[in-house]
Amino acid sequence: GQNIDQPTEMTATEGAIVQINCTYQTSGFNGLFWYQQHAGEAPTFLSYNVLDGLEEKGRFSSFLSRSKGYSYLLLKELQMKDSASYLCAARGNGQNFVFGPGTRLSVLP
Amino acid sequence: DVKVTQSSRYLVKRTGEKVFLECVQDMDHENMFWYRQDPGLGLRLIYFSYDVKMKEKGDIPEGYSVSREKKERFSLILESASTNQTSMYLCASSRQRGYGYTFGSGTRLTVV
């Protein structure tokens, strides 16, 4: 079957670094996406990994290990506006995405 | 910027009513999707479409149908609304299969 797992909630302090983990099981693998969703708003695209390794984009980085079925999103220099849910989504052979339950991140002053 | 517009942000409907949720995208995307989002369950795919007049069932199609008469518009229909269909409904589009999605702002539907 297909399954995505990520922590439900995390809390971190402004200015800190936080790592949100995601493990996935899909029929085949054709990429992993991370989305950010603020409360009451649409998810917005953050990053995409299809090869092993780290993709860096400003304060946000995403890592993928295909052999371990594992990804993480790393957020540096946390700001209050980073308080949101972070959705991990994997694409299998079927070309559609399977989404995880989302991790709600709270950034405290 | 690609825009995906959902016609209503909030809807309240009665059990048994027929409900239409409309979604329009303005960037000529081939693919459109309807998801529902529930706490702890994440986004679950209801229906999707890779072309005009084409539709495919997702993971939870029961109680729903869709219509795609024009490329830019993808409608979700609840034939007879039930309380377990109370949820946030998200429409998304993508340029090609497997590309990242652009989501609409969502419709929060409450069935009473």
Give the tens place of pLDDT for each residue, B66-103. 999 999 999 999 999 999 999 999 999 988 766 788 99
| In the block, residue with structure tokens 């986004």 | B43
Q: State the pLDDT at residue B40.
A: 80
Whether the Cβ atoms of residue B64 and residue B76 lie closer than 8 Å to each other: yes
- Contact residues, chain B, for A96 at CB < 8 Å: 33, 45, 48, 58
Which spans in chain A are helix H? none
Length of chain B: 112
CB contact under 8 A, B42 and A4: yes
Q: State the pLDDT at residue B1.
A: 64
Residues B60-64 have a mean pLDDT of 96
Q: State the pLDDT at residue A95.
A: 66
Q: State the pLDDT at residue B98.
A: 67
Percent of chain A with pLDDT over 90: 74
Closest chain B CA to residue A99: B43
Q: State the pLDDT at residue B82.
A: 97
Q: Convert the pLDDT of each residue in B19-49 to its tens digit.
A: 999 999 998 999 999 999 998 888 999 999 9
Pairing of β B107-111 and β A9-13: unpaired
Pairing of β A97-99 and β A70-75: unpaired
Whether the Cβ atoms of residue B79 and residue B63 lie closer than 8 Å to each other: yes
| In the block, residue with structure tokens 């989504």 | A89
In the predicted structure, residue A93 carries a pLDDT above the cut 80: no
Residues B3-21 have a mean pLDDT of 95
Instruction: Tell me the one-letter amino acid at A5.
Output: D
Query: Would you give the distance in Å from CA B5 to the centre of its chain?
Result: 11
Q: State the pLDDT at residue B27.
A: 86
Mutate to test the interface with A, among B48, B54, B95, B103 (most CBs of A within 10 A): B103
Q: Convert the pLDDT of each residue in A25-69 to its tens digit.
A: 988 888 999 999 998 888 999 999 999 999 998 999 999 999 999
Dihedral of alpha carbons A96, B38, A70, A27, sign: negative
Longest CA span, chain B: 38
Helix, strand or coil, per DSSP, at residue A30: coil
The C-alpha of A95 sits at a distance from chain B's nearest C-alpha, in angstroms, of 5
List, as ranges, residues 35-94 from A with C-beta within 8 Å of B.
35, 40-45, 48, 87, 89, 91
